[in-house]
Structure 1
Amino acid sequence: MSLKTIWKDYKVLIVMAPSLALVHWGWFHIKSSPLFQVKTESFVPEPGIVAYVMQSNEKNKEK
């Protein structure tokens, strides 16, 4: 089996396998990039902190 017959018989596999590997590799890097990560954690302040901030804002307005 020469290289010419291998290329002729398996051209689709030879071209598609590296292409598919590169697509998956790129997709993996896009998904793992911090630029594209969805921020699921939202900041919810505790009630004590909110009350303290509101009281300190009222005191500052009185001055």
Structure 2
Amino acid sequence: MGEDLLKLRTEFARLQALLAERGLTMRPPPTEPTTCCGRGCNGCVWEGFYAAAAYWLEQARECLDAADPA
């Protein structure tokens, strides 16, 4: 989970910088869970976080694409 999380944080920061640079606003990316027990539960809070993160990334990229002049 460590390397994936680092890559995700980096991509969040990169897209947020691009959005700000272009004057676009969007909700902040999802926050990382703080309640994981580490037992690999079915339906772990990290599964929900990664699903929400993927959706945020998709929406951010769509926002940037829509703002690009054709």
TM-score computed with the length of structure 2 as normaliser = 0.38
Q: Which has the larger radius of gyration?
A: 1
1 or 2 for the larger relative contact order (CA 8 Å, sep ≥6)? 2
